[in-house]
């Protein structure tokens, strides 16, 4: 995953640094799946967690987490990931409902949307990530005899390399409408890499394409170092998210898209919590305060 792929270690390529964060999100999705008031269901998520030695002992149900919902990591933070999954699921399905048939998941990680969402006929899901991550995912899903509900095209490439060539070589057609998702990716990237990614998505997107991504707005991430979410993540599973986040000034990607004919909207996660009636709400010393979810539609060629 961009400039921090060197932090990923282990024979599966998913057992350190960014790889552990992919497993963290999978564990959160597993916990969300088994909630009585689930926002999103991913029956494959727990199998990824249990298949990796680094995460095999993590909870995949809320009752397995010390303190349950009061646990900042497996309660509030995991529910955040459940809400994010639901919101981006809905975005993708709305986009294909109005005509897009190419779905590009940038930094796909352990995302199983090709297998669990009900795609209309003719959809192709391109999963862009490094080869070890995709190979691990492929092996787990093969062991489950999982069948994708759309044409699934893995694109094994590091985002520092020629991912555009790999994507088009895999059958992506820039002349056809597409929907792009960068979920939990951009705040790991250097300024220049984020700028290049947004510029490239614009260049490869025909009219009526759509894009969603997540950003963090705060300039000084260190002021949240003792936030319960970051503290519990460090203490319980050994991931220091603040060491992974890139601390360069962030580009104005929303402004760049608007200048190029995209209609954009920016939301807090709490907007969707209120809409769905469940999910995280603001609290003091909140590591989620600066998170924003951006949605964009290309309104001109």
Residue 11 has pLDDT above 50, yes or no: no
Residue 159 has pLDDT above 50, yes or no: yes
Among all chains, which residue has been given the structure tokens 């060539």? 165
Residue 155 has pLDDT above 90, yes or no: yes
The CATH code of domain 2-298 reads 3.40.50.150
* pLDDT value of position 10: 37
Residues 97-108 have a mean pLDDT of 96
Residue 85 has pLDDT above 80, yes or no: yes
Element (H, E) at 128: strand 124-129
Residues 146-157 have a mean pLDDT of 98
Residue 54 has pLDDT above 60, yes or no: yes
Q: What is the mean pLDDT of the chain?
A: 92
* pLDDT value of position 28: 98
* pLDDT value of position 173: 98
The set of residues, in sequence order, having a beta carbon less than 8 Å from that of 85 and lying 6+ positions away, is 29, 32, 39, 40, 42
Distance from C-alpha of 301 to C-alpha of 296, rounded to nearest angstrom: 14
The residues spanned by each domain of the chain are 2-298
Helix (H, G, I), strand (E, B) or coil at 134: helix
Closest by alpha carbon to 150, among 172, 190, 122? 122
Q: φ, ψ for residue 293 (rounded to 5)? A: -110, 125
pLDDT tens digits for 249-292? 889 999 999 999 999 999 999 999 999 999 999 999 999 999 99
- Listed in sequence order, the DSSP H helices in the chain are 18-33, 45-51, 78-97, 113-116, 131-143, 163-169, 191-204, 228-237, 241-244, 253-259, 269-276
The set of residues, in sequence order, having a beta carbon less than 8 Å from that of 215 and lying 6+ positions away, is 186, 187, 250, 253, 291, 292, 294
Residues 55-74 have a mean pLDDT of 97
Residue 236 has pLDDT above 50, yes or no: yes
């Amino acid at each position: 995953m961009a400039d921090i792929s060197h932090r990923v270690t282990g024979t599966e390529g998913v057992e350190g640094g960014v790889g552990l964060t992919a497993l963290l999100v999978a564990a959160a999705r597993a916990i969300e799946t088994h909630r009585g008031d689930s926002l999103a269901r991913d029956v494959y998520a727990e199998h990824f967690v249990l298949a990796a030695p680094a995460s095999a002992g993590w909870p995949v149900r809320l009752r397995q987490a010390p303190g349950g919902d009061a646990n900042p990591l497996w309660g509030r933070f995991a529910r955040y990931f459940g809400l994010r999954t639901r919101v981006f699921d809905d975005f993708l399905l709305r986009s294909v409902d109005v005509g897009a048939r190419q779905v590009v998941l940038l930094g796909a990680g352990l995302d199983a949307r090709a297998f669990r969402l009900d795609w209309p006929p003719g959809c192709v899901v391109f999963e862009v990530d490094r080869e070890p991550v995709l190979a691990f995912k492929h092996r787990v899903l093969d062991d489950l005899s999982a069948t994708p509900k759309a044409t699934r095209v893995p694109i094994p490439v590091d985002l520092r390399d020629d991912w555009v060539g790999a994507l088009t070589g895999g059958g992506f057609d820039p002349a056809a409408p597409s929907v792009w998702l960068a979920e939990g990716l951009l705040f790991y990237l250097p300024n220049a890499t984020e700028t290049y990614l947004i510029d490239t998505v614009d260049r490869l997107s025909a009219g009526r394409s759509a894009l969603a991504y997540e950003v963090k707005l705060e300039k000084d991430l260190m002021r949240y170092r003792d936030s319960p979410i970051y503290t519990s993540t460090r203490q319980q599973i050994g991931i220091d998210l603040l060491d992974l986040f890139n601390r360069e000034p962030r580009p104005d990607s929303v402004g760049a898209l608007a200048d190029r004919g995209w209609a954009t909207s920016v939301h807090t996660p709490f907007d969707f919590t209120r809409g769905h009636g469940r999910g995280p709400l603001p609290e003091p010393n909140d590591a989620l305060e600066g998170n924003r979810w951006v949605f964009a539609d290309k309104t001109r060629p």
